[in-house]
Amino acid sequence: MRILVINSGSSSIKYKLFDMPAARLVSKGLVDHIGEKGSKFSNHYAGLKIILDEIKLVQAVGHRVVHGAEKFKKPVIVDQNVIKGIKKCCSIAPLHNPANLSGILACQKLLPGIKQVAVFDTAFHQSLPENAFIYGLPYEYYQKLGIRKYGFHGTSHEYVALEASRILKKPLNKLKLISCHLGNGCSITAIDKGKSVDTSMGFTPLEGLVMGTRCGDVDPALITHIMHKKKFDTKQMDRVLNKESGLKGVSGISNDMRLLEEKAIAGNKRARLAVDIFVYRIRKYIGAYVAVLCELDALIFTAGIGENQAGIREKICRGLFGCLGKKPKILVIPTNEELMIARQAYKLIGGN
């Protein structure tokens, strides 16, 4: 079965075509600058049309959808109700869900009768216990506004956990894992018997680790303080927290960890500070998640930094597990969110 996996962002569509169940990658590509001035793609429909002119014989489509809130705890076959549900989640994921939805609607028009499956970044974390997902805010904010920790990168964390179980030759329900997805966006998840029990990203992907351009955890009182001091409106504040902070903000150089590692080694103090803050925050979270899990079989590194930067992994792990009776395995596992989406779509549509 040929399954097309679509990752539809605000101005781009990335795709991979898989032959399932062999999991053979048939083709992949990217259309970008969608909706931008002067672009030949005025919308997602136009972008997808070009992709589908190139590839033939699509038998099913799997879509990455960022936010499924509490409604979507697992992948689902797209129908009118699912579309309504994804639309509802747009208010809490205004940057991502509208673009994901545009991809789904464009596919419905361009591939009539072909089954589509929505796979949610938040779904894997729906197993979090209440004590981990409720914030210390008035409880009615959760009840009325849906304010809680949702967590993201779920497809990646689930994929690497399954891979870890295969590599360690131990069933997932016998493993305690911590997975570190360290790319431009970074998150860390505690996985107990295959279930996410805590994760660093929160209501939005801004919480938790220091990332490429996102600040991660800060004192919440700082937001109003900075807005007052700098005379920022909410849009300006949001931009600083999401686009001008993290590695880029601290170093004043770049969000690219390869460059920062190079500069730090060459003696640049701000680059070294950015790397140190990045590493320190990850170590703190690992410590916290060891306390959540009580034991640890393996620590997993994935995504751009996690897969490729041995120096950063070494800094994170140095002396970290001396206090544990049994040292965990350290695994580097390349993530493959698209394959995970193809597998889930295949499983749902009738394959095994």
Chain positions contacting ligand ADP, by CB under 6 A: 183-185, 212, 256-258, 303-305, 308-309
* CB burial string 338-350: b at 16+ within 10 A, e below: bbbbbbbbbebbe
192 flagged as catalytic:
no
User: Least distance in Å: CB of 132 to ligand ADP?
Assistant: 24
User: Least distance in Å: CB of 308 to ligand ADP?
Assistant: 3
Distance CA 103, CA 46 (A): 10
Given the complex with ligand ADP, which of 104 and 257 has the nearer CB atom? 257
Given the complex with ligand ADP, which of 75 and 185 has the nearer CB atom? 185
Q: Which of 121, 192, 198, 297 is catalytic?
A: 121
Q: Which residue is at the shortest CB distance from ligand ADP?
A: 304
User: Least distance in Å: CB of 317 to ligand ADP?
Assistant: 17
- How do beta strands 2-8 and 115-120 pair? unpaired
Given the complex with ligand ADP, which of 242 and 308 has the nearer CB atom? 308
Distance CA 85, CA 98 (A): 12
- How do beta strands 298-302 and 176-182 pair? parallel
Distance CA 267, CA 286 (A): 28
- How do beta strands 76-77 and 115-120 pair? antiparallel
User: Least distance in Å: CB of 201 to ligand ADP?
Assistant: 12
Given the complex with ligand ADP, which of 278 and 289 has the nearer CB atom? 278
* CB burial string 112-147: b at 16+ within 10 A, e below: eeebbbbbbbbbbbbbbeeebbeeeeeeeebeeebb
Given the complex with ligand ADP, which of 181 and 343 has the nearer CB atom? 181
In contact, 278 and 251? CB cutoff 8 Å: no
Distance CA 305, CA 319 (A): 20
User: Least distance in Å: CB of 44 to ligand ADP?
Assistant: 20
Distance CA 206, CA 137 (A): 18
User: Least distance in Å: CB of 334 to ligand ADP?
Assistant: 10
Q: Report how far apart, in Å, the C-alpha atoms of 51 and of each of 8, 10, 66, 102 are.
A: 12, 17, 22, 15
Given the complex with ligand ADP, which of 75 and 183 has the nearer CB atom? 183
Positions marked active-site: 121
